[in-house]
Amino acid sequence: MNVRRSATALAALAALCTAAAPAAFADASPSPKPSGPALPKGLYGTKDPQFDGVWRQSLALLAQDAVGVTPAKSAIDWLAGQQCEDGGFAGYRADPAKACDPKKGEFTDATAAAVQALAAVGGRSSAVEKGVAWLKKHQNDDGGWGMNPGGPSDANSTSAAVGAFAATGTDPKGVKSAKGGKTPYDLLLGLQLGCDAKKGERGAFAYTADKGGAGAAANDLATAAAALATQGKGFVFEPAGKDDGKAPEPLDCGKGKGGAKDGGKAGGGEPAGVAEAGQAAAAYLADTMAEHGRHLLSSMPGAKDQPDFGGTADAIIALAAGEHSATAAKPLQWLQSEKNGALAWAKGDPGALGKLVLAAHAAGADPRSFGGVDLVQRLNATGPKPESVSASGSQADSGKDADGEKKDDDKGGVGGVWWTVGVFMVAGIGIGFLLSGRKKQQL
């Protein structure tokens, strides 16, 4: 079921969908180490940011803003200061005064995530406009984007760009390539597997177009990203006010209705519409998670069949974006169970915590009561103290410890009493991601 392409491309794909960024995202500058330079002021997390600094910072800011937390000015300044002169972003710039390499030092995914974050927190319109202009400039002729400027278009980078446009009020359908007039959806629809594919893979998306003649292969992480993009949304959106409880509709592969001739995608035939493509992708994700025990499995090359926590969070966000929060409820409950390991995976890591907060928010759950843990408090603790917390999001449980977990009332906690505060402990325990190694639990 996993795409069998180069290890580098697949590793980048897995990393991007699990709140990390590829190793290629870093510039050649020395990165902070325990015995070296101090971590930059305003940066979230304590682990080496060389591979995921911009990505994890963007997710942290987006998650905080989504739940009523105003991030520290230093955190916003740090992210804005990472922007290259031409508007793009690298994965991390140890020395922002050093010019970026526009050919290999800037990345679609990092730029798209930063644009979404800076647009959300406000006050950075110039940086946002430059980032959007950079994305438009580097759109490929087929309507999509690759990880690097001019690189082969892939589902994840293209979906990230769609999210950036959506977050800034630009209709992705109107973003057309200079040559050929192709939109992001022209590229994405061409990557979806149709009725010629195996029954269990219909509706899924491939990571990139097949160039070797072996046929497109379904990839869960690409599908989760594309399922969100086909809804025309980014990482943050208002949760659906209602959910009729109906499961998403799979491809209709009945004779004359979406068959290989009429409705096939990458597997053959004409592509379906964007809405139908999103429904089919959501149905594939729901079925796949149910098959594996309410979660997705890792897509890393050579990885064992182990849970993919970040990918599962992405799938939940995509389902919620399509107004299928009832379908997303079971995998969300699975993530909340301490025994399944998602909370341990995310502890101390701002990117992972941001993903869980966004998944809970999208599905209409409370990230402040996530399996007995206050995810917002944990996220805030990985970076500088927030400027403020909204009245609806400022209740820090005095019956919880520094990690946001419930304390035993017999040990001095004032259990059950909520205090309105705007200050959280800054005690980040970094469990960062490095693409080339990553965590055993996840990648």
User: What are the helix (H) ranges across 292-389?
Assistant: 309-321, 325-336, 342-346, 350-362, 375-380
Give me 143's structure tokens.
């309507």
Q: Is the pLDDT of residue 179 over 70?
A: yes
**Angle, in degrees to the nearest 10, between helices 274-291 and 220-229:** 140
- pTM of the prediction? 0.82
Confidence of residue 305 (pLDDT cuts 50, 70, 90): confident
Q: Is the pLDDT of residue 370 over 90?
A: yes
pLDDT, position 267: 42
Which range among 20-29, 200-209, 386-395 shows the weakest confidence by mean pLDDT? 20-29
pLDDT, position 75: 98
Residues 111-132: what's their mean pLDDT?
98
Residue 50 to residue 32: CA distance in whole angstroms:
8
Which range among 18-22, 127-131, 206-210 shows the weakest confidence by mean pLDDT? 18-22
Which range among 17-26, 190-199, 219-228, 293-302 shows the weakest confidence by mean pLDDT? 17-26
Residues 367-374: what's their mean pLDDT?
96
Give me 278's structure tokens.
């999103």
Sign of CA pseudo-dihedral 345, 349, 352, 358: positive
DSSP string, 200-242: GGTT-B-SB---SSS-----HHHHHHHHHHTTT--S--PPPS-
Contact 62, 358 (CB under 8 A): yes
Q: Is the pLDDT of residue 398 over 80?
A: no
Q: Tens digit of pLDDT for each residue in 399-415? A: 444 455 544 433 333 23
Which residue from 428, 436, 442 is spatially nearest to 60, judged by alpha carbons?
Answer: 428
Residues 185-214: what's their mean pLDDT?
89
Which amino acid appears at position 178 of this protein?
A
Residue with tokens 């994840």: 156
Sign of CA pseudo-dihedral 357, 16, 233, 221: negative
Give me 307's structure tokens.
């849970």
pLDDT, position 215: 65
Which residue from 425, 431, 256 is spatially nearest to 346, judged by alpha carbons?
Answer: 431
Residues 255-271: what's their mean pLDDT?
42
Residue 132 to residue 290: CA distance in whole angstroms:
37
Which residue from 197, 286, 443, 152 is spatially nearest to 144, judged by alpha carbons?
Answer: 152
The widest CA-to-CA distance across the chain, in whole angstroms, is 69
Contact 379, 388 (CB under 8 A): no
Confidence of residue 397 (pLDDT cuts 50, 70, 90): very low
Which amino acid appears at position 205 of this protein?
F
3-state secondary structure of 297: strand
pLDDT, position 253: 87
